[in-house]
Amino acid sequence: MPRFKHTAHRISLTAMFVTMSLLFLYLSSIIPVMRITFYFLSSVFIMGILLEDEVGLAFLMFAAVSLLSLLLMPFTKSLPYILFFGHYGIGKYFIEKNIKDKIVRYVLKLLYYNIAVFLIFLLARAFFTEDILSSGLPLWVIIIIAEVAFVAYDYIYTKVTGYYFNSIRRLLIKS
């Protein structure tokens, strides 16, 4: 029986991934540079659980990291993880597992991203008094930049997931 099928190993690996996600989230809240990089790094650990087809543990991990981040960090520093970065891996997993056509998959991932960004925009507008689009750029330019950033994020996420699966996973999960 593979080692990951043992309950103790599944729990300890999930706890380790929760801890690593929290570490990178915490770093995003205290270090003023590379904030997006730390949010990205906090989001990739959930894929380690999903690669074992442990969807329930992935949802549990997302909930645990979200709740613990709310307890340990300022509310506004937890929101990017809760509203997008934390659950994107789960959404990506379901889209890529169930949709075979690459174009449809990418359209669905872009739709998923755009819905999340729209909800983030609505929440930000409701909670913060300053104009969040006050960068001076036209809205259409901001949208194009956001779409390109998402495509890069998804590509890098896929590469990091592949690296984990091909190099790191065999060290953590031995048959």
pLDDT at 108 (0 to 100): 96
Nearest-angstrom CA–CA distance, 62 and 30 = 21
pLDDT at position 23, please? 96
pLDDT of residue 76: 83
Q: Model's pTM, two decimal places?
A: 0.86
CA dihedral 78, 80, 82, 85 (to 10 degrees): -130
pLDDT (tens digit per residue) in 78-112:
988 999 999 999 999 999 999 999 999 999 999 99
Residues of the chain with pLDDT under 70: 1-5, 128-135, 174-175
Domain boundaries, given as residue ranges, for the chain: 3-172
**Distance separating alpha carbons of residues 16 and 141, to the nearest angstrom:** 40
pLDDT of residue 60: 96
pLDDT at 1: 43
Helix (H/G/I), strand (E/B), else coil: 24: helix
